[in-house]
Structures are given as C-alpha cells and as structure tokens.
Amino acid sequence: MTKGIAGIGEDYKYGFKTPEKYVFKSKKGLSKEVVEEISHLKGEPDWMRKFRLKSLEIFLKKPMPWWGGDLSDVNFDDIYYFIRPSDKQGRTWDEVPKEIRNTFDKLGIPEAERKFLAGVGAQYESEAVYHNLKEEWKKKGVIFLDTDTALKEYPDIFKEHFSTVVPPADNKFAALNSAVWSGGSFIYVPEGVHIEIPLQAYFRINAQNMGQFERSLIIAEPGSFVHYVEGCTAPIYSTNSLHTAVVEIIIKKGARLRYTTIQNWSKNVYNLVTKRAVAYEDATMEWVDGNLGSKVTMKYPAVFMHGKGAKADILSLTIAGKGQNQDVGGKVIHMAPHTSSNIVSKSISQNGGRSSYRGLVKVLKGAHGVKSNVKCDAMILDDKSRSDTYPYMDIDEKRVSIGHEATVSRVTDEQLFYLMNRGLSESEAAAMVVSGFIEPIVKELPMEYAVEMNRLIQLQMEGAVG
C-alpha cells in the first residue's frame, strides 16, 4: 500500500540535526529566568514582563487537562521556549525530509512557498503583491503586523485589548502561551472599514507565524469587516513538538470577522490552541478551522456573544489518520438575547485515526430568543478508525431554540461501484465521495485552498484504498 499524505511524518528522521545558527536560544525547560530573559531580549515594557511571570505561576499550578487527547508524552522540561532565529535561516533545503519534499511536488506548491513552509526561506517571497496591499491597508488605517512589533508600535491599543479575551488562568496551555509567547498576527480594523481581500499570514513581513507559541490579537471596530487566513494544506514541517497558540478576537458592534485556518502540522506535533472571540451587539464571528496534521490536536474555537443579536458560525473540518487524535469542536456562549450560533463539524477518520467532536452550547439566563444549531457529521473510512461526539449543553433559559444533529457515514460499496462504473478508479471514487462529504466546508474556503484541499483528499485516498 502506498502512503498518502496522512502517512508522512510517520517516517520523520528525528535524528537529523537542527543547525546551531541561532542568535539566541534559551535553555531547555521553563523557569522564571527563561521567562525574564525572553522579555528582556524582546525589550518589552514592564507590564508585559510582569504579565509573563504571573502567567508562568499560573501555568505551574494548573493541572493538565484530563480529557481530549493523550498528552502524557509532553515533556515541558525538554522544550526550548524561545529561539530567535538568525536573519539567515539555518535549515537548508537538503535537510528537509524527502517525504515532505515529495508531498510538495505532488501538491504542486511553488518553489518559494515550499521553502517557506519547510522553514528554509526566511519569508514568503510575495513582496510585490504584499507591497500594494500594504499601501491600501495603510490608507484605510488598518494595522497588520506581527504581534511583537505591534506591542512596540501601538502600545496603547495593544494594552487595552491584550489578554482581555483569553486570560492566562483560562487553561494550562493558555497560561503557558501567556508566559512565553512570541510572534503571531496583530490586526486592527478601524470603524466601518471593509477589507475585501483576505489578510494572509503569508503576507506579513518577518512572518513568525509558524512559531510554537504564537499569540494573535484581532480587533474589529464597529461596522468593519475582515477575513484573516492562516496556514496551508501542505504539511508544515516543524521540529518543535509543541504548538500552543492563543488567538484573541474582539468584534465590536455590527462588525464581522472571519478567521480561516488550515493546518497540516507534521505528525510529531501536539497542537493545543486556545481560540476565542468576543462578539458585541449584532457582530458576527466566523471560525473556519481545518485540521489535517499533528499527533494530537485539541482546539475548540469559541465565541462569547456579549451583545444582543450577535452571531457565531463555527465550521470545523478534520482528518485523522494513523496515530492521530483530532479532538476538536467549538464553544458558543450566548450571553445576550437573540444571539444565534451555528456549528458544523465534519470529520474523516481513516487508517486507525481518531476524531472527536467536543462542543459546548451555553445559554445564560435572560438570553431569550437564542437560536443554536449544531451538526456533526463523521465519516469513518475503515473499521480501525474511530469517531466520537461529546456535545455539552448548558441552557439556563427557556425561550430558546436549540438543535443538535449527528450523523455517521461511510463510503458505501454502492457508491464506489456506481462511480467505478463510470471509469473512476477505486481511490478516485472514494476521493470523490469524501470531497462531497466535506464540500459544505470546502466551499467556504478561499478558492486556492479549496483546490488544494481536494487534491490533498485525492492523495490521501490513494494511500487509503487499494
């Protein structure tokens, strides 16, 4: 049996050396000294240094989550918490594992992009495109920077919003991120400004978005609209086994924000991300979250609907292959009347993979007229694989309408026979049925992602069937 994309990562040569060309690298393990050093090297204001230290204390006190994926292999003492790469990236193309390079070939990823994805290039070479867009954003007063730079250049907006959505005490991994964060995206959209072209993490100069402890903060002022896109369908090669990000989003009155993530981490990565948005009156938050890679993913994008009429849309797509546990879902907290939410989760489990939908619908007392719909569809491609749903509900208000629907499907023999009768091979037939299954989510992705996604499914099916 040939190996699909899902299979890459199984053969990573962990032995290959990361060249020691860093300007600075903290000691392994986490301590007060390490955190102090990070803050010092970044030249941060005192409040941030204190915030980091306090977060460290919280992190050390908090227990590991007992639910979700198996995290017993995560060794916090065996991790570098801060590495500042030299200006010239150390890794060379030859050092990128062959499987990854082959996958890039198959996906037809352009040269420049490949190097970036593999951690070879210092930045994505899209300067020309980027330059024009940057001018436009600037004219409209939009700020789009990496988070470290934003802290320096816009200290007031930063301090006003930072950590207001995800406090360090929220969970152990949020505390960890708060203590050692580095990089991530900072976006500020002024009142009434609509940005039609999605902001892509790619475009950011000095992109550090592949970092382990990235921290993103997005503020959408009243009546604004923006779509932020991060990640890609190609596997992201990372020598770091822990990816613990925090994303905080504030959407003010009548604004709308869409945050699209497609992540395909290599299969050694624990992907533990806290993503949360606060939506004020008549604001709309849309999370589109695709998780293809990693060893364990625990990610439940949340929307706190503070203002009446606020809306939340969470679309989640996961593929769990051999050795993978994708524990994902969404949380919607209805805190005001006439708020509405819609969660659609689609998972594919194959080759022994395990995927779970874990979700929460919470309605506070007084939030009347709330509407919420949850739909979880699981597709299980073989008997070795598994899918579970854990839909939690906590409803303190009577005048609400709550719907929940879960389905489990397979690629049926009749479907395969029908499609093969029209000339498709077994794997092409299976890929077609699977693409149909995820279509409701894929059609929400930017065009180039949708195309890549279908190609990826095709590759995976070649590995899974026949």
Partner 1 sequence: MENKNLKIQDLQVSISGKKILKGVSLSVKKGEVHAIMGPNGSGKSTLSYALMGHPSYKIENGSLTLNSEDINSLSPDERAKRGLFLAFQYPVTIPGVTVMNFLRNIYNKKIALTNGGKPVSIFQFNTLLKERMGLLKMEDAVAKRYVNEGFSGGEKKRLEILQLEILNPDIAVLDEPDSGLDIDALKIVSEGVNRAIEKGVGVIMITHYARILNYVKPNFVHVFIDGKVVKSGGPELAKELEEKGYDWLKG
Binding site for partner 1 (CB under 8 A): 412-415, 417-426, 428-429, 432-433, 435-440
Q: How far is the CB of 436 from partner 1 (least distance, A)?
A: 3
Nearer to partner 1, 24 or 418 (CB): 418
Q: How far is the CB of 439 from partner 1 (least distance, A)?
A: 4
The rounded distance, in Å, linking the Cα atoms of 344 and 375 is 5
Q: How far is the CB of 447 from partner 1 (least distance, A)?
A: 13
Tally the C-alpha atoms within 13 A of residue 382's C-alpha that lie toward its C-beta.
14
The rounded distance, in Å, linking the Cα atoms of 249 and 163 is 10
Cβ atoms within 10 A of the Cβ of 415, count? 15
The rounded distance, in Å, linking the Cα atoms of 393 and 207 is 39
Nearer to partner 1, 77 or 414 (CB): 414
Helices (H), 346-446: 413-421, 426-442
The rounded distance, in Å, linking the Cα atoms of 59 and 278 is 24
Q: How far is the CB of 420 from partner 1 (least distance, A)?
A: 4
The rounded distance, in Å, linking the Cα atoms of 97 and 8 is 10
Chain-centroid distance of CA 416 in Å reads 33
Residue 16 tokens, joined: 């290959």
Nearer to partner 1, 242 or 430 (CB): 430
Nearer to partner 1, 315 or 336 (CB): 315
Nearer to partner 1, 79 or 433 (CB): 433
* Alpha-carbon Rg for the chain in angstroms: 22
Nearer to partner 1, 176 or 315 (CB): 315
71 within 8 A of 65, measured Cβ to Cβ = yes
Query: Which is it for strands 143-146 and 185-189: parallel, antiparallel or unpaired?
Result: antiparallel
Q: How far is the CB of 460 from partner 1 (least distance, A)?
A: 16
Nearer to partner 1, 97 or 290 (CB): 290
Residue 20 tokens, joined: 């020691």
Nearer to partner 1, 218 or 416 (CB): 416
Q: How far is the CB of 409 from partner 1 (least distance, A)?
A: 8
Q: How far is the CB of 372 from partner 1 (least distance, A)?
A: 24
Helices (H), 167-261: 172-180
Size of the chain in residues: 466
Nearer to partner 1, 39 or 318 (CB): 318
**Secondary structure of the chain: what % helix, strand, coil (to 5)?**
30, 30, 40
- Looking at the DSSP bridge assignments, the partners of residue 392 are 360
278 within 8 A of 304, measured Cβ to Cβ = yes
Q: How far is the CB of 412 from partner 1 (least distance, A)?
A: 8
Nearer to partner 1, 240 or 435 (CB): 435
Cβ atoms within 10 A of the Cβ of 156, count? 7
The rounded distance, in Å, linking the Cα atoms of 101 and 122 is 18
Q: How far is the CB of 450 from partner 1 (least distance, A)?
A: 12
Q: How far is the CB of 328 from partner 1 (least distance, A)?
A: 20
**26 φ/ψ angles, rounded to the nearest 5 degrees:** -70, 165
Q: What angle do CA 240, 242, 248 make, to 5 degrees?
A: 120
Q: How far is the CB of 231 from partner 1 (least distance, A)?
A: 23
445-448, Cβ contacts within 8 angstroms, sequence gap of 24 or more: 445/260, 445/262, 445/288, 445/290, 446/198, 446/229, 446/260
Nearer to partner 1, 36 or 428 (CB): 428
Q: How far is the CB of 108 from partner 1 (least distance, A)?
A: 15
Nearer to partner 1, 361 or 442 (CB): 442
DSSP for 348-360 reads: EE-TT-EEEEEEE
> Which CA distances in Å does 407 have to 220, 300, 391, 437?
35, 20, 13, 11
The rounded distance, in Å, linking the Cα atoms of 250 and 246 is 13
